[in-house]
Amino acid sequence: MPTTRWGRPGAAATAMALALGVGSCSSSSSAGSGGNEAGANDGTSSGSSGGSSGGGDTGAGDASDAGATCTIGAQSYAGGALDPANGCQSCQPRASMSGWTPLANGTPCGAGATAGVCRAGACAGDCYIGGAWYTAGQANASNACQICQPGASPSAWTDADGTPCTGGICLGGTCHLPVTLASGQNIPLGIAVDGASVYWTDNGGSTVMKVALAGGSAVTLASGQSFPHGIAVDAASVYWTDDSNGTVMKIALGGGTVVPLASGESYPTGIAVDGTSVYWTDNFGGTVMKIALGGGSAVTLASGQNMPWGIAVDGASVYWANLNASGTVMKVAMGGGSPVTLASGQGGPAEIAVDAASIYWTDYLGGTVMKAALGGGVAVTLASGQYGPQGIAIDGASVYWTDQGSTSSNGAVMKVALGGGSAVTLASGQNGPLGIAVDGASVFWTNAGGGTVMQLPK
């Protein structure tokens, strides 16, 4: 609590107050001792802490109030006692023995949602920082990643972690801008991440690449591919689809010999992997397929689909999106069977992700990010007004997606809470963002137009 220099009422004023019976004082200290007598009997202090404004702010009293009392409204209060009806006023006998005295400006008051600081004797939902007043939510003019948040601290700036700043996102009170992990790529598309590296397909460069999470030199895992598209990883291998030559391939995480898993596909795009199998969508062939991790015969899980694109799996089902003007979001049991429609009437569902309760997808043509229960039901719009949402990823709190934007310079990386709310721009000014992946600390994406692979702390 800020300290305050006290003014003392003059002896004559104190005597008059006692004679009129408007207050009593049992303090052993003399009413006029110690100097600093006020020039008038107005009960104001001779100074206030922190350069605060507003006459009459005296602070909460000092040791000389001990044993003294105030008589206010026919009730006696001990020195330092707060006004039961106003936590920004207290009994300060040296200032007034017959009325409440305002606490010093900037004194914390309230709690939780009502937290604030005292201002001219009232609890205000504001911050008092460095001798100046700021309203709740107001940004620090010197640091856009700090705001006034009275509930956290009414007397100091609070880090605005997770909020956007110019071109990036605030973290630890600092604006973090996207980091380029790799550049000079030729239409990087799919992206995946594990505990050590980031992996991507370079569609135009005919390569499959990786780079360490901390950055460094990009490593070519496979070259001489036709047009590698989707990508997935597990603890041992990297898997990808090659849309032009109709193959599904794999290679060890550290590189080596490329192993064909499936061939003769029409236009394989999306890919996913679990502990036993690799799954993919054949966009032109209208099928959803799987094959054992070690290869063998490919199995058709669903056929007769209309441009299947993104794909995801959990322990029970395989999910995919049919990318067309009256698109659907579908699922089928891991062993195959009759496909189930989870959502229909979409404008062009593209990529998908699943968690234990819901399926999430980007509607590329509809400009929305959607979700539905794994068992189906009413589709919920998480974000609208997007311009070409494409890749999607989730963690335990949020949904992340890439939005291509209307020009080559206004693509964005976005997020929204799993339950919906206001969409947050994590990175702006991106050139054709497409694939996206997340880990516990960061968001990663490919800029197909810019030829870069990017990273940003969450």
Residues linked to residue 365 through DSSP beta bridges, in sequence order: none
What integer is the mean pLDDT of 228-253? 98
Percentage of the chain lying above the pLDDT 90 cut: 78
pLDDT value for 38: 33
**Gap between the Cα atoms of 223 and 216, Å rounded:** 19
Query: Is 18 in the same domain as 152?
Result: no
**Is 259's pLDDT higher than 80?**
yes
- Give the dihedral sign, CA 43/47/49/55: positive
Query: Is 273 in the same domain as 402?
Result: yes
pLDDT value for 63: 53
For the segment 361-419, what is each residue's pLDDT rounded down to a tens digit?
999 999 999 999 999 999 999 999 999 999 999 999 999 999 999 988 899 999 999 99
Q: How confident is the model at residue 36 (pLDDT cuts 50, 70, 90)?
A: very low
Its pTM stands at: 0.75
Side-chain-facing half-sphere of 63: CA atoms under 13 Å: 0
Residues in the chain: 458
**In-domain check, residue 190:** yes
pLDDT value for 37: 32
Mean residue pLDDT of the chain comes to 87
Q: Which residue shows structure tokens 């441009």?
A: 307
**In-domain check, residue 160:** yes
For the segment 173-224, what is each residue's pLDDT rounded down to a tens digit?
999 999 999 999 999 999 999 999 999 999 999 999 999 999 999 999 999 9
**Is 33's pLDDT higher than 90?**
no
What integer is the mean pLDDT of 280-301? 98
Q: By the 8 A CB rule, do 406 and 420 touch?
A: no
Burial class (CB in 10 A: 0-12, 13-18, 19+), 24: middle
pLDDT value for 28: 35
pLDDT value for 177: 92
pLDDT value for 64: 64
**In-domain check, residue 27:** yes
What integer is the mean pLDDT of 432-457? 97
Chain centroid to CA 88: 35
**In-domain check, residue 79:** yes
**Gap between the Cα atoms of 109 and 427, Å rounded:** 38
pLDDT value for 62: 53
**Is 104's pLDDT higher than 90?**
yes
pLDDT value for 237: 98
Q: By the 8 A CB rule, do 349 and 381 touch?
A: no
What integer is the mean pLDDT of 420-441? 95
For the segment 337-367, what is each residue's pLDDT rounded down to a tens digit?
999 999 999 999 999 999 999 999 999 999 9
pLDDT value for 90: 96
∠ CA 209-284-286 to the nearest 5 degrees?
Answer: 110
**In-domain check, residue 102:** yes
Query: Is 148 in the same domain as 22?
Result: no
- DSSP annotation of 379: -
**Is 158's pLDDT higher than 50?**
yes
pLDDT value for 66: 73
Query: Is 140 in the same domain as 191?
Result: no
Burial class (CB in 10 A: 0-12, 13-18, 19+), 253: middle
Query: Is 362 in the same domain as 271?
Result: yes
- Comparing 18 with 163, the larger pLDDT belongs to 163
Q: What range defines the domain where residue 439 resides? A: 177-457
Q: Name the residue type at position 107.
A: T
Q: Which residue shows structure tokens 């032009």?
A: 244
Residues linked to residue 281 through DSSP beta bridges, in sequence order: 288
Query: Is 201 in the same domain as 227?
Result: yes
pLDDT value for 326: 84
**Gap between the Cα atoms of 386 and 113, Å rounded:** 33
Query: Is 302 in the same domain as 448?
Result: yes
**In-domain check, residue 4:** no
Tokens of 239: 């898997």
Query: Is 68 in the same domain as 16?
Result: yes
For the segment 134-150, what is each residue's pLDDT rounded down to a tens digit?
999 999 999 999 999 99
**Is 23's pLDDT higher than 50?**
no
What integer is the mean pLDDT of 316-329? 94
Task: Provide the CATH number for the domain around residue 350.
Answer: 2.120.10.30
Query: Is 56 in the same domain as 147?
Result: no
**In-domain check, residue 1:** no
Query: Is 167 in the same domain as 186?
Result: no
Last residue of a domain, one of 153, 175, 197: 175
**In-domain check, residue 3:** no
**Is 11's pLDDT higher than 60?**
no
Question: Three-state SS for 193?
Answer: strand
Pick from 429, 356, 355, 441: nearest CA to 392: 355
- Comparing 287 with 19, the larger pLDDT belongs to 287
pLDDT value for 168: 87
pLDDT value for 20: 28
**Gap between the Cα atoms of 407 and 154, Å rounded:** 43
- DSSP annotation of 18: H
Chain centroid to CA 106: 30
What integer is the mean pLDDT of 318-343? 95
pLDDT value for 458: 85
Number of structural domains (the chain) is 3
